Chains A and B, each alone.
Chain A
Amino acid sequence: MEQENYKIKAVNLLRSRICDPKFIFINESPESNHSKLKFMISSSVTEACNNSILLLGPRGSGKNAVLELVIQDLLQEYPDSISVMRLNGLLHSDDISAFKEIARQLCMEHQLLFSKAASFDDNSQFMVAMLKECGLAHKTIIFVLDEFDLFAQGKQRLLYSLLDAMQSITSQAVVLGISCRLDADQLLEKRVRSRFSHRKLLFLPPSIEDSQKLLMHMLTLPIDPSFPQDYAVEFNRKVQNIIEDRGFLETLNKYLNVDSSVKHLLRFLFCAVSRMELQTGFLSRENFEIAFSSIQRQPKLECLRNCSILELQILVCMKRLEVKEQNLCNFNSVMKEYKSTLTSERYARHVCLRAFEHLIHRELICFTDNRGQSLSVEFRPVKLLISSAELHQGLRANNSCPPKLLNLMDREG
């Protein structure tokens, strides 16, 4: 019984690590983005100056996670001197709701009464007044603008008011914009861009060596009394062997060559750790291979695998028409091809029409134009949406595909 307990505990520990940004992104090197960001914000707090910073990087590279870690550290160091206001461009993209949200968070932070009936002018003047009061009290307000490029649409009143208030002597604030667009500062209007301080922190995906170090960091168990000593040592030795295996490295490179962001790697680890054998209690290479196969899916191939024989025949006929330089076709031309190709075991026309409509619903084929809605399905032009290679693989993967159809496809290919 205790045997099963510590194995389950090992799986839970690894899974909780994968979901914990603190375990992933804490990096005390002076060159890391964590240290740079912490230095910038703490300089603004201790030296009572205003600052505006842009965090740029692709999705999944840890921008928000690193910022939350830095804010937690600063709230521990300066508990009475920092207020954090969080806005999201998806939720507060128009200026009225953004100012209202700032007023609501300011009221909650300082135990004031928030009025829902306050107008745009009241909320913006309240924000400027609160910035002055906090500046006189030596308190820094940190504005976190997630999805910063969505705030840059429209007249940019929020950005202008924030950055203009930061130019005054009494206010004390840091504006942090988070965006995945590299040209986020080019979207700003010229007077907002002039007031922005053009500080950018670039979050780049890790290299292959850093990803392997992160793997080792994530998957090794601690040598402490929570796990039996020989089990932890054996576990770490097996993990080391897996990571140094050439086949595993090829799989990892294949996986990271498509997307090397940290979140993509963590999804891979989560799938692998979730399939760990609880009988042996160890990770194996098969866990990672199965995780790689399950993540690397082809939904159109799976869609083809579930097609009926008649639907496959219709797709093959459309592919034959495509090979004959007919890019557009409709149901009638497909039926003509169907009759000339398959001389036996033919279905009735209305049954073929039902199969044709089923293919349209599955979006393996689609109408080429949205006009002509009044036309019957039989006369509207359609287009095949899968490539020849995909159709070929789909026919081979289908268990109930007759060999004659496969030969027909091979002859055309």
Chain B
Amino acid sequence: MPVIAAKRTLRSHPSSPPRKSPRRCTAATPNSTPTMNRFGADENRADPEAVKPKWNPKDGEQLKRVKLALHLSTAPSSVVCREEEQNVVLEFCKGCVEHQKAGSLYICGCPGTGKSLSMEKVKDKLLNWAKEAGLPQPDVLSVNCTTFTNTSDIFTKILGLNQTQGKKVSATPLQQLQNMYSQKSSNKNMTLIVADELDYLITKDRGVLHDLFMLTTFPFSRCILIGVANAIDLADRFLPRLTSLNCKPIVVNFRAYSKDQILKILEERLNELPYTVFQQQAMELCARKVAAASGDMRNALCICGRAIEMLEAEIRESACNLNTSLEEISSSRQNLATAPDFMKKREFETVRTDHMARALSKTYRSPVVDTIQSLPHHQQIVLCSSMKHFRGAKKDTILGELYKSYVGVCKSCIIPPAGILEFSNMCRVLNDQGLIKLGQSREDKLRRVSPKVDEGDITFALQGVRFFHNCL
């Protein structure tokens, strides 16, 4: 039985201390940017070859450490490329704690841009700063709004932090909080509330979200509210009254990662390892593709993990080929001298651009073309008929009309058409896979049909079949 990795030991006690790369200056003038990039690229290219050896993909221990460094759950010790945003939030919280006044902040950005991770770092830094400065430590409440069955539960959670004040059973948690913040109390601690996935609190009347941000406007309020969500205009669209009441939250935008930032984060994670895993061009290809597609750091880490798996699969195949060639060598001894060179050449490979290209294509390619090419013959004819039928101004039709078009295509190609029952079964199969869309009707013939796959995809998938040359 293979040994399962000791997950806890590996993560809590890395054998080698983390090694940081020289941090490049982010505040650069546009004129000096090309020079800086060229210099940085030269340094990165020269540095691994001089300092680090290449890794051994066959070593199980090294493989585990590489995959661990690239996994989503491994939080780095410092969040790279988000220092500016963290400083803005940290200075805001410091000001609130120092002056004992409430405030609200809204953090927005696409998924995978490091919002929640940065908030974790800001919390730790704030607590350390308060301890060093001798100020009372703020209470911290982190909530994820997806876990609430009722949107009003967030007030129950906030109230739970101040359990001694919760004596009044008759009032709702919101009213209790409003009463508490309307009068002076002996408790001097500030409360930091980080509400993740804030848009789950949006209701039809927007009451919960409005009341939540209004809590910071009470005269004796002591809460610092940080909302995290994806929409940039959430405060403007769902909280327009806050602007007139002069308590609109400050907005901090986490922009999608650029190519340089993705490359820097990947290098930061891999620099903690004592060997080189990726070629520089492969990492550059991954960073450019992900930055062009979504700017999502989770995508970049997953694609690097899959590229390593491509290398693993290639090594397994070459091991099989090596066994075969060794059998050939045993039968004919002429090639005996070349076997050690062959084995030596295959070892210590890095992840190359072709591994990365295959991993990228697996992630981003749509399975529609493969599925259309593997459909049975009559289903391909149905798709072809629907494409011809919808070419023009038509947006949808009924199943009976599509069947007439299908019978026409079959007659022109001199093959017997399927019956109406089989035709509707085929349309149901295509609807299940998402290639066409079937409406609901009591009678089969009167169901509405509309296309869901682009015409170019159907043309591209069927152009290799000689049968469809005349139809397309």
Asked if A and B bind, the verdict is yes
A46 within 8 A of B: yes
Residue from the list B75, B306, B425 in contact with A259, Cβ < 8 A: B425
A385 to B443, alpha carbons, bound, how many Å?
Answer: 8
- Chain A residues closer than 8 Å to B1, beta-carbon distance: 77-78
Decide if A58 touches B11 in the complex (CB within 8 Å). Answer: no
Looking at the complex, which of B125-133, B246-254, B426-434 is the stretch in contact with chain A? Answer: B426-434
Among A49, A96, A205, the one with the most B-chain Cβ atoms within 10 Å of its Cβ is A49
Decide if A258 touches B376 in the complex (CB within 8 Å). Answer: yes
A155 within 8 A of B: yes
A361 within 8 A of B: no
Contacts A198-B363, A366-B443; is A256 near B376 (CB within 8 Å)? yes
Chain A interface, >50% SS class: loop
Residue from the list B4, B371, B422, B435 in contact with A46, Cβ < 8 A: B4
Decide if A49 touches B67 in the complex (CB within 8 Å). Answer: yes
* B residues 97-141 touching A (CB-CB < 8 Å): 110-112
Taken residue by residue from 172 to 184, chain A's Cβ proximity to chain B (1 for < 8 Å, 0 otherwise) reads as 1000000011110
- Chain A residues closer than 8 Å to B296, beta-carbon distance: 194
B298 within 8 A of A: yes
Q: Could you tell me the distance in whole angstroms from the C-beta of A298 to the nearest C-beta in chain B?
A: 5
Decide if A297 touches B111 in the complex (CB within 8 Å). Answer: no
Contacts A58-B429, A204-B370; is A183 near B111 (CB within 8 Å)? no
A47 within 8 A of B: yes
Closest residue of chain B to A60, judged by CB?
Answer: B429
Closest residue of chain A to B6, judged by CB?
Answer: A138
A4 within 8 A of B: no
- Chain B residues closer than 8 Å to A190, beta-carbon distance: 110-111, 230
Decide if A180 touches B432 in the complex (CB within 8 Å). Answer: yes
Looking at the complex, which of B170-178, B328-336, B389-397, B413-421 is the stretch in contact with chain A? Answer: B413-421
Among B147, B197, B306, the one with the most A-chain Cβ atoms within 10 Å of its Cβ is B147
Contacts A169-B11, A385-B443; is A260 near B376 (CB within 8 Å)? yes
* A residues 56-75 touching B (CB-CB < 8 Å): 56, 58-59
Residue from the list B8, B299, B374 in contact with A205, Cβ < 8 A: B374
- Chain A residues closer than 8 Å to B299, beta-carbon distance: 194, 198
A136 within 8 A of B: yes
A136 to B149, alpha carbons, bound, how many Å?
Answer: 29
Looking at the complex, which of A160-168, A306-314, A404-412 is the stretch in contact with chain B? Answer: A160-168
Taken residue by residue from 255 to 266, chain A's Cβ proximity to chain B (1 for < 8 Å, 0 otherwise) reads as 011111000000
Decide if B378 touches A258 in the complex (CB within 8 Å). Answer: yes
- Chain A residues closer than 8 Å to B71, beta-carbon distance: 49-50
A104 within 8 A of B: no
Decide if B422 touches A195 in the complex (CB within 8 Å). Answer: no
Decide if A138 touches B4 in the complex (CB within 8 Å). Answer: yes
Interface residues on B, range: 35 or more
B46 within 8 A of A: no
A166 to B422, alpha carbons, bound, how many Å?
Answer: 44
Taken residue by residue from 1 to 31, chain B's Cβ proximity to chain A (1 for < 8 Å, 0 otherwise) reads as 1111111100100000000000000000000
Contacts A180-B433, A299-B421; is A257 near B5 (CB within 8 Å)? no
Q: Could you tell me the distance in whole angstroms from the C-beta of B69 to the nearest C-beta in chain A?
A: 12
A236 within 8 A of B: no
Residue from the list B5, B149, B230, B433 in contact with A121, Cβ < 8 A: B149
Q: Could you tell me the distance in whole angstroms from the C-beta of B431 to the nearest C-beta in chain A?
A: 10
A21 to B251, alpha carbons, bound, how many Å?
Answer: 56
A59 to B377, alpha carbons, bound, how many Å?
Answer: 17
* A residues 351-408 touching B (CB-CB < 8 Å): 363, 366, 385, 387, 390
Decide if A259 touches B363 in the complex (CB within 8 Å). Answer: no
Contacts A172-B7, A387-B420; is A181 near B426 (CB within 8 Å)? no
- Chain B residues closer than 8 Å to A366, beta-carbon distance: 442-443
- Chain A residues closer than 8 Å to B459, beta-carbon distance: none
B64 within 8 A of A: yes
A157 to B426, alpha carbons, bound, how many Å?
Answer: 34
Closest residue of chain B to A390, judged by CB?
Answer: B420
Contacts A48-B4, A160-B146; is A204 near B433 (CB within 8 Å)? no
Sample 15 A-B pairs with CB under 8 A, ordered by A number.
A46-B2, A58-B371, A58-B429, A155-B146, A170-B7, A190-B230, A194-B299, A204-B370, A207-B374, A257-B378, A259-B376, A259-B379, A296-B419, A299-B421, A385-B445
10 new A-B contacts, CB < 8 A, other than A59-B429, A258-B418, are A47-B63, A50-B72, A58-B432, A171-B73, A190-B110, A194-B296, A204-B374, A207-B374, A258-B425, A298-B420
